[in-house]
Structure 1
Amino acid sequence: MHASHLPDRIWSECELRCGKDLPPCLDGLICDGWACEQPCDPQGPNTCDDGYRCFQRRPSSPWVCHPDW
C-alpha cells in the first residue's frame, strides 16, 4: 500500500507483477514498470474506469490507465 496524499481516504491496490523472469500479463493488459496495466489511447474514447486517467510515465512508456490523484 502506498502512502496517500489524501489523508481522509483509504485505498489499496492489487498489482499483477510482470517483467524479466515473471509470467506475462493476462490478456488485455500490458507490462509497464513491472506491473500489468490496462492500456488506453489518449486520442481515443476514454476506456479508463472512474478515478483513472490515461497516462504515460515517460515518452518510451505505453499509455495506461493510472489513478487520477
Structure 2
Amino acid sequence: MSTLHVDWTRCDGHGLCAELLPEVLTRDEWGYPLARRADRSLDVAPGLEEHARRAVDLCPLLALRLR
C-alpha cells in the first residue's frame, strides 16, 4: 500500500489534490488538504493508486509525493 505525503513547506492550499482524491483527502476552510480518515493516515488503497499518481502529477506546487 502506498502513502501520500504532503510537503507543507510547498503546499499553498489550492485544493486540487482533494478534488482528485476525495476518498483520501478533504480540505480545511483555507483549502489545505486533510486526511479524510479518523486516524489521519494518508494511506492509498491499491485501487486508488492511479488517482493518487494523477493528484501528485497535477499538484501545481509539487507538494505531493507517493511513497
Q: TM-score, normalised by structure 2?
A: 0.27
Higher relative helix content: 2
Larger radius of gyration: 1
Q: TM-score, normalised by structure 1?
A: 0.27
